[in-house]
Structure 1
Amino acid sequence: MLFLALSILLSVLLLLNFRIFPRYKVDTFQAIVFNYPVCFLTGWLLLPAGQSFTIDFSQTWTWLAFGLGVGFILTFMLSGASTQRMGITATSLANNLSLVLPVCFSLFVFKTGGKVFDSLNYLGLVLAVVAVGLSTYKPEAVTDSSTKRSRLGANVLLPIGVFLFYGATNTMINYMNLHYIPSTDKTIQVTLTMVIGAIVAGIVMLLIRLIQGKETIQVRNLIGAFTLGIPNFLSFYTLVMALSAFGGNGAFVYPVYNIGVILLAALMAALFFKESLSIANKMGLVLAVIAIGLISWQELASLV
């Protein structure tokens, strides 16, 4: 249970980083780009005794991992922009409820759901999508009505993008687990390979922006990379450790993890950043908890 609690705390810490970056004038783009080398260093230090990191270009999963790394950095950038413009609560909801997509792929495409979904499970999937929509509703105080509609419409796309991108990357991870991941003791190896893909993609994007004169590297952005990179890797690592502690029972760990992140993120946003929730946002928060509970009610009930 300790690893599960740590994973929840570390995941919320990522969102808090994005929220406070503007206060300290940390450039989110640069912090994300430089956070991946920090992730790699953190993972390298956690390699099991006797293991060394190598890249086998002859393996299909290596190239899929590279592709996932690119997806991760794009998703991370969306998450940062969404947190700053739509708030922690909406972004954490979109992030965590993206589990709907890999669940649907497991059920209808991969045929590896592990159980037969009943009407309550399907109702949970529908409510999850509704919850994301309600949580992203955040009108802005803009005097001109046309400008208000324009800004709101553009901002709403951010958590929706987070929902879709996180869902897509998690679906690909499930696909790799089914067909390409060599063994469970190689978890850090595979994760580090994904990080390499993110590092390459980030450096290419940064170089382009430097050449265009749109970026200036500053020390505070490197500091932000450390506060972001360490919890970024450890949140994933502790989640894997939690899965191992519960015998690989992802149907229990993931719902509890997602519910914990949603509720803790909303609490932190209200306490430290005075983020106000509209009635629609509160309804989305309640529906999110109900939805995740319905999706995995069988596993949760078996533990009571």
Structure 2
Amino acid sequence: MIYLVLSILFSSGLFVIFKYFGIYKIEVLKAIFINYIVAFILGFLFAERSINVTSIPNQPWFLGAVFLGALFVSIFFVMAMTSQKNGVSVASVAGKMSVVIPVLFGVILYQESVTFLKVIGIIIALIAVYLASSKEEKSTHKNVSLLFPILLFFGSGAIDTTLKFVEVNYVPKEDVSIFSGILFGIAAFFAFIILSVQYLKKRKPFGVKNIIAGIILGVPNYFSIIFLIKALQTKGFESSTLFTINNVGIVILSTLIGIVLFKEQFSTKNKMGVVLAILGIVIVTFAT
């Protein structure tokens, strides 16, 4: 349980950092690139065993790391496009509601338990995520394509589902840090390609503040993945339960942080969402 709590804490911290990115006008893709490099380095610093670099492509989890690294960058781009074209609320809800995908795969692929109480808890949790994430936005995002929200929904779900699949089948406990480091390294490679293309189109200095922001982001990002994987490896903890608690926990904590730290508006709908989220977590946790 401690790994799950730590995953929620570090993941929620990412939302706080991204909030400050907006305040200090940080160029997000550049900071994300540096963040991936920092997480890559941390993966080897905290490695539980030594490994020959030349043998990494031969590791059973390598292809999974390549796929996830590409997904990380792709979904970041889709999230940005969804926020711009459909609004921040739509992006937030689409990303968090994707928890239903790893939950379903957990039941189908790993024959995880399905009880009436558990199903009710997950449904309540999904409703809670929607209510807690919804913000009243004055926007002109009307009659726009649902392509990007749909891609974000399935892409975010694919990341969690693939992470669980690779962890179960290919990643031994002593390789968690190295696997995570390589994953971030590959994501950094793809981000570098995108940045290079952008630089060729518009030559612009990288910016010291973007580097500092990336370093600050990299540490909690690394640990959020590490603790999530370690939580997934905890015996007796089904992934359908874990992903539900993790996502809803992040929604609750990030919402409360937004209220206390950034004085964000908290509507009646949001309050109902938080209450239902707590109820959903309790039901899912104790469902048998």
TM bracket, shorter-chain basis: 0.7 to 0.9
User: Structure 1 residues 49 and 121, CA, compared in 2 at 3 Å: closer, same or farther?
Assistant: closer
Inter-partner Cα distance in structure 2 for 1:163 and 1:295: 22
Whether the aligned pair in 1 keeps the contact of 2:132 and 2:251 (CA below 8 Å) is no
Matches within 5 A, 1:293-304: 293-298=282-287
- The aligned counterpart of 2:142 is 149
TM-score (norm 1): 0.78
Q: Deviations over 1:239-259 (max 9, x none)?
A: 445566x65635665555444
- Residue-pair matches, total: 285
Structure 1 position 249 matched with structure 2 position 264: no
User: Structure 1 residues 122 and 250, CA, compared in 2 at 3 Å: closer, same or farther?
Assistant: closer
- Extract unaligned runs of 5+ from structure 2: none
Inter-partner Cα distance in structure 2 for 1:168 and 1:215: 34
- The aligned counterpart of 1:172 is 162
| 1:197 shift after superposition | 1.9
- The aligned counterpart of 2:111 is 113
Q: Deviations over 1:3-23 (max 9, x none)?
A: 544333221111111111121
- The aligned counterpart of 1:211 is 200
Whether the aligned pair in 2 keeps the contact of 1:15 and 1:83 (CA below 8 Å) is no
Matches within 5 A, 1:48-197: 48-51=48-51, 53-58=53-58, 61-77=61-77, 86=88, 91=92, 95=95, 97-108=97-108, 110=109, 112-115=110-113, 117-141=114-138, 147=140, 149=142, 162-179=152-169, 181-197=170-186
- The aligned counterpart of 2:22 is 22
- The aligned counterpart of 1:42 is 42
Instruction: State the percentage of identical aligned residues.
Output: 29
- Extract unaligned runs of 5+ from structure 1: 300-304
Inter-partner Cα distance in structure 2 for 1:280 and 1:25: 30
| 1:172 shift after superposition | 1.1
The amino acid across from 1:63 in the alignment is L
User: Structure 1 residues 82 and 274, CA, compared in 2 at 3 Å: closer, same or farther?
Assistant: farther
| 1:49 shift after superposition | 5.0
| 1:137 shift after superposition | 3.6
The amino acid across from 1:249 in the alignment is F
- What do you get for the CA RMSD once the two structures are aligned? 3.4
| 1:198 shift after superposition | 0.4
SS of the equivalent of 2:163 reads helix
| 1:40 shift after superposition | 0.6
User: Structure 1 residues 272 and 97, CA, compared in 2 at 3 Å: closer, same or farther?
Assistant: same
SS of the equivalent of 1:208 reads helix
| 1:285 shift after superposition | 3.1
| 1:272 shift after superposition | 1.6
Inter-partner Cα distance in structure 1 for 2:80 and 2:275: 24
